[in-house]
Amino acid sequence: MSWRVLQELWKGKGGKDLEKPRERGVFAKWYVCALAVVVFVIGACFLAVKPVTLIADGKETTVKTFSRTVAGALKAGGVTLMEKDEVLPSADSLLKKRMVVTVNRAMNVNITVDGCDLAVRSLGSTVKDVLDEYGIDIGPEDEVDPSTEAPVIENMNVLVARILTKTEESEAPVDFETVKRFTVKMPQGSTRVAQEGREGAERRTWRVTYRDGCEIARQMIARELIKPAIEQVIMVGSGLVVSRGGEDIRYAEAVDMLSSGYTYTGYNTASGVPPHYGVVAVDPGRIPLGTEMYVDGYGYATALDRGSSIIGNRIDLFFESYEEAMDWGLRWTKTYIID
């Protein structure tokens, strides 16, 4: 089949004339269009890029980014956010050209409280801010080291000690005392228990201070006797001897007594017997009634009476007359307790 026949067939099907030369400038038009597209894209990119200033970790840097939000700018600048870090404006804010983005880093703080160690991060400026942020209440007696007003620094340790002061009561034994009483009615040096001692009891009130559950101080603030102790009395055979008027007198105790004299009052003695020479008034708390004694300058006497002014080491000697009592006057005299 010849070339002409093929041309005829192509025209018959509506095709273009194969021998007609192509229109000039087609490629130039395509080139211009492509160039326009490239210029448009470059212009759009130029308009879309945003220069942003990042302030973080003590440094100020400028980044250019196509990101729509602050978070994208941080990523472009290689800034990684950690827990509690603060971004101004916020990370989801729309990014604008020449925007300044500031990152405030939270501080690492270790808090020891109630037996636990808490590793936290905080933007608080003082120790109190951090404690409040994490709901750690401080009681009126609690101790905080460093103080609650101390500024927060990186990797600081905060110790919270729980202080509790309360009142406690307890009962405690009261020891009995042991006293020796000498007597001439027992062989010299021999002893016997005349009265068994018995412990008493008292109620004690304490102010107790605890630090984190451990007692650190205890102070007694009150005590109350609820059962008195009974003293133990041991009788000892006396070997003490004094010579008076050629007579050896065995005695249990020698005491300097302030003595005075009295005479008939119209009343019997406290023991119920009529007063007579040899009766002496004593303080029963110091010398029991019925005790025999020898008073220098007076002689033998028996404690059978008492008086309102006779207290402690004081005795009042009976005389048959007012004149004798007045002559005796008031004097110190050696008194030997026989039994």
Q: Is the pTM of this model over 0.75?
A: no
Q: Is-contact 139 211, C-beta < 8 A?
A: no
Tell me the C-alpha to C-alpha distance, in Å, between residue 45 and each of 62, 93, 330: 18, 21, 127
- Measuring CA to CA, which residue among 51, 113, 114 is closest to residue 77? 51
DSSP conformational letter for 25: T
Q: What is 25-105's CATH topology?
A: Ubiquitin-like (UB roll) (3.10.20)
Name the fold adopted by 166-233. Resuscitation-promoting factor rpfb fold (2.20.230)
Q: What is the pLDDT of residues 46-76, one digit of tens each?
A: 446 899 999 998 899 999 999 999 999 999 9
Taking CA atoms, 312 is separated from 153, 181, 232, 252, 285, in Å, by 73, 17, 21, 18, 8
pLDDT given for residue 89 in this prediction: 94
Contact yes or no for 335/296 (Cβ under 8 A): yes
Strand (E) or helix (H) holding 300: strand 299-305
Asked whether 151 and 123 are in contact (CB, 8 A), the reply is no
Alpha-helix runs per DSSP H in the chain: 3-12, 26-48, 70-76, 127-133, 322-328
DSSP 218-259: EEEEEEEEEE--B-EEEEEE--EEEEETTEEEEESEEEEEEE
So what's the pLDDT on residue 69? Answer: 93
Fold of 107-161: Ubiquitin-like (UB roll) (3.10.20)
Measured CA to CA, the distance from residue 114 to residue 1 in angstroms comes to 106
| CATH fold group of domain 239-337 | Barwin-like endoglucanases (2.40.40)
Domains 107-161 and 166-233 share a fold: no
Query: CA Rg, the chain, in Å?
Result: 57
CA 276 – CA 265 distance, rounded (Å): 11
In the predicted model, residues of the chain with pLDDT beneath 50 are 1-3, 6, 10, 18, 37-47
pLDDT, residue 270, reads 93
Closest CA to 303 of 313, 314, 293: 293
DSSP assignments along 90-143, one per residue = -TTSBP-TT-EEEEEPPEEEEEEETTEEEEEEE--SBHHHHHHHTT----TT-E
Question: What are the residue ranges spanned by the domains of the chain?
Answer: 25-105, 107-161, 166-233, 239-337
